[in-house]
Amino acid sequence: MSEALVNTNVVEAAVTSQDKMAAVLAYIMHHAKDSTAWSPLPHMTINLPGGLTLHGLMMLFSAFILLLLFGVVYRRSAAVPHGWTNLLEFFVQFVGDQIAIPNLGEDDGRRFTPILCSFFFFILTMNLVGLVPGFAAATSNVNVTVALAFISLCFMIFGAMFRHGLLGFFKGFIPHGVPWPVLILMVPIEIVGLFIKAMALTIRLFANMLAGHIVIFSLLGLIVAFGLLALPAMAMALGIYLLELFVAIFQAFIFTLLSAVFIGQRYHPAH
């Protein structure tokens, strides 16, 4: 009798844990996907108007933060930059001197510094906004990263065509000194590689940001499913969260750097 009661309790506990894990999984999937509703607080849901989605709202919110930083907080007229102005100028100078100029040359590097800074600050802001409880990371949406990568691809193709002309653009895919039988195979691979590079920009940013959020919610979900037995997972979740702060900065840097490298390869194919 007691043995049967114990078995019944075990089965009920297993079923309860499975139900909780199913609920946690449903919550993670709801958080990861885009939607037309926003839940900034528990038991609070705001239906977004006009076909606006959650990730679209996060993009607008990130853009507003950047407009506020560079339009209001930033003081370029100051004789000695300090505070936020000094911090923003540090990143602008870093993008220009360490990313744009080394990969695009002195002249092109200075011309491309504004667009590369836009990439860096916009992606960084979206990544950091996604780490605020109640908000979402727009960069965990593949549509957002596709749009960013498409801008880079347009510079790789149309910018290089404008620089070298249509014939010069395609000549850039032909390495010097390579036998023509090898070129039959190499040139198509080089052209396809142009689109693969844009795809790499897309997937790298999207996958890293989405994976980090899923891991954090999965660890916290263990506490929901198993109670105090899974309490050590809280420390692991905190560690992953701190790691995500680094990843947010690193992924913005990587996207900007790779964009500069790929554009530079098409602007200066001889190198």
Number of structural domains in the chain = 1
The answer to whether residue 118 is domain-embedded is yes
Q: How far apart are CA 86 and CA 217, in angstroms?
A: 35
What pTM value is reported for the model? 0.87
Sign of CA dihedral 139, 122, 102, 196: positive
**Interval 204-254: pLDDT, tens:** 999 999 988 888 888 887 777 777 777 788 888 888 889 999 999 999 999
The answer, yes or no, to whether residue 7 has pLDDT greater than 60, is: no
The answer to whether residue 8 is domain-embedded is no
The answer to whether residue 2 is domain-embedded is no
pLDDT for 51: 83
Tell me which residue range forms the domain holding 121. 26-267
**Interval 177-189: pLDDT, tens:** 777 777 788 888 8
The answer to whether residue 248 is domain-embedded is yes
**Interval 59-96: pLDDT, tens:** 999 999 999 999 888 877 666 677 788 889 899 999 99
The answer to whether residue 10 is domain-embedded is no
The answer to whether residue 5 is domain-embedded is no
- Nearest CA among 138, 134, 135, 103 for reference residue 124: 138
pLDDT for 129: 94
The answer to whether residue 19 is domain-embedded is no
Q: How far apart are CA 25 and CA 174, in angstroms?
A: 50
